[in-house]
Amino acid sequence: MLKTRSIGLNVAGVPLLNNISISCPKGSVTALMGPNGAGKTSLLRVISGEYKASQGTVDINGRAANDWARPDIAKFMAVLPQSSTLDFAFTAEEVVALSRTPHNTGLSRDLEIIASALSMVDASYLADRSFVKLSGGEKQRVHLARVLAQIWEHCENQSSDGGILLLDEPSASFDLAHQIMLIEIVQKISAAGVTVIMVMHDLNLAAKCADQLVFMNSGECTAMGTVPELLTSEMIRKVYSVNAEVGLHPVDGTPLIII
């Protein structure tokens, strides 16, 4: 599980986060949502350790993040940023293989994991292709396979603490079919005990897979709760300053937002 306690962040004298406290139980899916510039990505970077909080603490699986050695965290926490720059002509398989660096599982097992991760994201056919020649959506799927492969043991089997997956706008370059694929992956690995925290803009996608929502604005947490509690016309108007109707999906009964 993961908790943030009163997180504050100042970068070059600019306050980006103020007093953010959230709790993400093992196996839960948390969607960080809100307008552009709300602080969602900054919070994800503090949780991952890329940014050092100016105040407050992050607790990972019952221990302060600062008490963990980074190589140890890398064995159970993976991060998919909004964009990743890679200019070397690695194959897709080689890109995914980078994620196995923290582990000592042997080449044969690593190749099994890499192949399984590529298959999970519908990218097996890309394995031998040059990464730099892929489309934006294909690159994003390969990177998704990479972070899944990094914590594969936790995605595949229940573990005592569970893995943690941080995703920053993971569906931004996905077509409709692969957006659905992403939802199914998140549901599958969270059921195996992986704690997922992801920045999202699509309210309907969040309604499909999130256990809890965290709405942010101006570096602060403005609301936190379950999907039915927060996905209301009033809350959407308050957070995004737009009018929306909220009904129920005719198949699965999740909230359906119509702008």
For the CA atoms of 133, 138, 139, 142, what is the dihedral angle to 10 degrees? -120
pLDDT of residue 34: 95
Q: What is the pLDDT of residues 202-229, one digit of tens each?
A: 999 999 999 999 999 999 999 999 999 9
CB atoms within 10 A of CB 193: 19
pLDDT of residue 89: 86
Answer whether residue 85 shows pLDDT above 80.
Answer: no
Residue 87 lies in a domain: no
Residue 68 lies in a domain: yes
193, 162 Cβ separation under 8 angstroms: yes
Where in the sequence is the domain holding 238, given as residue range(s)? Answer: 2-76+151-258
Residue 193 lies in a domain: yes
**Average pLDDT rounded to a whole number, residues 50-56:** 94
pLDDT of residue 162: 84
pLDDT of residue 156: 84
Nearest Cα to 194, choosing from 72, 58, 27, 69?
Answer: 27
Answer whether residue 159 shows pLDDT above 70.
Answer: no
Answer whether residue 84 shows pLDDT above 80.
Answer: no
Radius of gyration of the chain (CA): 18
Task: Please report which confidence band the pLDDT of residue 97 belongs to, taking 50, 70 and 90 as the band edges.
Answer: very high
Residue 209 lies in a domain: yes
pLDDT of residue 163: 94
Question: End-to-end CA distance of the chain, in Å?
Answer: 34
Residue 18 lies in a domain: yes
Share of the chain above pLDDT 70, in %: 99
Name the token pair of 238: 């308050």
**Average pLDDT rounded to a whole number, residues 12-37:** 95
pLDDT of residue 55: 95
Total tally of structural domains belonging to the chain: 1
Residue 242 lies in a domain: yes
Range with lowest mean pLDDT among 41-50, 65-74, 95-104, 186-195: 65-74
| Burial grade of 247 (CB within 10 A; 0-12, 13-18, 19 or more) | exposed
User: Phi/psi at 120 (nearest 5 deg)?
Assistant: -60, -35
Residue 47 lies in a domain: yes
pLDDT of residue 26: 94
Whichever domain contains 184, its CATH number is: 3.40.50.300
Handedness of CA 11, 13, 14, 18 (dihedral sign): positive
pLDDT of residue 160: 66
DSSP symbols for 68-136: S-HHHHTTTEEEE-S-----S--BHHHHHHGGGTT--S-HHHHHHHHHHHHHHTT-GGGTTSBGGGS-H
Residue 138 lies in a domain: no
**Average pLDDT rounded to a whole number, residues 158-166:** 83
**Average pLDDT rounded to a whole number, residues 84-88:** 78
